[in-house]
Amino acid sequence: MAEVDTMDPAQEYVETMLNRHKKMDDITERGDSEVQKFYEDAVVFVTGGTGFLGKQLVEKLIRSTKLSKVYVVLRPKKGKGVEERLRALIKEPVFDKLRKLQPEFASKIVPVAGDVSEPNLGISEQEWNIMATEVTIIFHLAATTRFDASIRESTLINIRGAKEALRFGKQCRNLKSYVHVSTAFANACHSRINAQVEEDFYPPPMAPDMMIDLVESVEEERLNNMTPSLIKDWPNTYCFTKAIAEEAVRAESGKLPICVVKPSIVIGAMKEPHPGWIDVSAVYGVTGAGLGKALGLMHTSMANSKVFLGLIPVDYVTNATIVAAWETAKQKSTKDENPKVYTVISSTRSPKMWSDLYKLMTDITLWKYPSPTTMAFSLYLQTRSPFLYWVYSWLFHMIPAYIADGVCSLLGRQRRFVKLYTKMSKLMSALSYFSLNNWHFADNNTEALYDNLSAADKEIFSFDIDRLNWTEFISSWVIGVRQFILKDGLVNTRYAIKKLKVLRALTYIGTAIYLFVLYKIVYFSYSMLSFAVGTVF
């Protein structure tokens, strides 16, 4: 009797999650919820629309509302004009569902040539003036999120870009709402470790105009030398400049219908537009570390197992951002009031620690939905000690990397392992500030924002963190990495599980032999050195 083909477990999971879209899709199609009515015929302006969060925001707005058009700022680069960049953008997987529902959706996206690091956002005077008469809603998402970006780059994009976007907002004659997207960690500095971080504005480390003047007047090398003393209480230039940008927003209270949305660590989608959807640009960060573990390349990390996770699905952040714009338009602020701040984070109302993530990742990544592209079994030694992390990194990353590159040289192949693990080490170093320390984030405004939604809008724009299912969240993330980063087709999962069992046995045996040989080399070297010293003296 012929064997009956069964669906791959990863594909089966995706199918189950997609089936849950029906209720949301049916309610969305009616188009009569309060939030949907607010966006009807709206003209939206988006900066950062080609980024991880920005792409999903544009997709969700067009799919779920009857807006008129979306202006998206695009920076011409690598010889590609904005029209060519837009054509490439709309072909990306994030728009697959929208493409089926609305084949002509691209007609609603209007590309605008610009550069947020430049005065006037790099937008021509003609386009600026046209948009100022049309735009009703602004989402400012553009930022450099790289922790290692220079202070000049971070300032020009994150601070001056914010100020120029605010200036544009003040010139929009029909503006109803303005959302500035920051980060929950803008005020999570060293002095506030283990303290409460409120949904409010804090005194900035420097005035926005002063910071802009500084980077425009001081040469690059001197600025880089000054950076440690400038950022002081902040872990990196990203958090530092985002904190200053928030002050620029606060200064506009009473002048604009504005709010601030502050997500934590944004990773793959829980539900939409596709379970686990994630952009390649999001690989730098926690997703990169997770990918390293999944492929068996990462064997150690620096983290405190008792630290609470700040992970949040990208679709939760998108939905909260869309709803925040609607709520802001309803509020009548005074000059004495600060704009509302909405912190979108999981650790307050659905707390999970790094130890929980380790268990979930092990159960799901390794034994439930592993990728057939997995190269080894991850030992994954976690420590809070910088010294032990350094030892583990050399034992299980760098020394094997040098050996592997040596073999590659002998075989005439490209050497890449030392470079790979050096990048991985820099990534873990950048993430360690957030994986070793706790902050207690207030999110009362975000909770109230969701609770005040109608039943229909809760279904369409869900971001109910109280009911976040972590097993499904991590499963979606893992499968999303396979589908959108590794692109393994979500096939051969059962084979991958068997393969991983073999790799586990080989890894344990190989590690034992490797450590024994290493011990013998060190012991022999020490004996020879002792003998040489004894002979001389």
Q: How many folded domains does the chain comprise?
A: 1
Residue 461 domain flag: yes
Residue with tokens 């912190």, as numbered in its chain? 343
Strands 69-74 and 177-181: unpaired
- 104 CB-contact burial (10 Å; exposed 0-12 / middle 13-18 / buried 19+): exposed
106 CB neighbour count, 10 Å cutoff: 16
Quote the CA–CA distance of 109 and 68 in Å, as a whole number: 9
Over its length of 537 residues, how does the chain's per-residue pLDDT go in tens digits? 444 468 999 999 999 999 999 999 999 999 999 999 999 999 999 999 999 999 999 999 999 999 999 999 999 887 788 999 999 999 999 999 999 999 999 999 999 999 999 999 999 999 999 999 999 999 999 999 888 899 999 999 999 999 999 999 999 999 999 999 999 999 999 999 999 999 999 999 999 999 999 999 999 999 999 999 999 999 999 999 999 999 999 998 778 999 999 999 999 999 999 999 999 988 888 888 888 888 888 999 999 999 998 899 999 999 999 999 999 999 865 555 789 999 999 999 898 998 888 888 888 877 899 999 998 898 888 999 999 999 999 999 999 999 999 999 988 888 889 998 998 888 888 889 999 999 999 999 999 999 999 999 999 999 999 999 999 999 999 999 999 999 999 999 999 999 999 999 999 999 999 899 888 888 888 788 777 767 766
Which residue range(s) make up the domain with 180?
Answer: 9-282+308-352+439-466
Q: What's at 351, amino acid-wise?
A: P
Say how many CA atoms lie within 13 Å of 162 toward its Cβ.
29
CA atoms within 13 A on the CB side of 313: 31
Looking at the domain assignment, is residue 330 inside a domain?
Answer: yes
236 part of a folded domain: yes
**Pair 347, 309: CB distance under 8 Å:** yes
Evaluate whether residue 155 is within a structural domain: yes
Beta strands in 224-302 (DSSP E): 258-263, 265-267, 300-302
Question: How many CA atoms lie within 13 Å of 264's alpha carbon, on the beta-carbon side?
Answer: 27
Asked whether residue 3 is assigned to any structural domain, the reply reads no
Rounded distance between C-alpha atoms, residue 454 and residue 316, angstroms: 17
Side-chain half-sphere CA neighbours of 310 within 13 A: 26
CATH number, position 210: 3.40.50.720
Contact predicate 300/393, CB 8 Å: yes
β-bridge pairing 109-113 and 340-344: unpaired
Structure tokens at 71: 């202006």
Residue 343 falls within a domain, yes or no?
yes
**Phi, psi dihedral angles at 90 (to 5 degrees):** -75, -10
Residue 77 to residues 80, 113, 142, 441, Cα–Cα distance (Å): 5, 10, 16, 38
- 378 within domain boundaries: no
Residue 252 lies in a domain: yes
Number of Cα atoms under 13 Å in the Cβ half of residue 197: 26
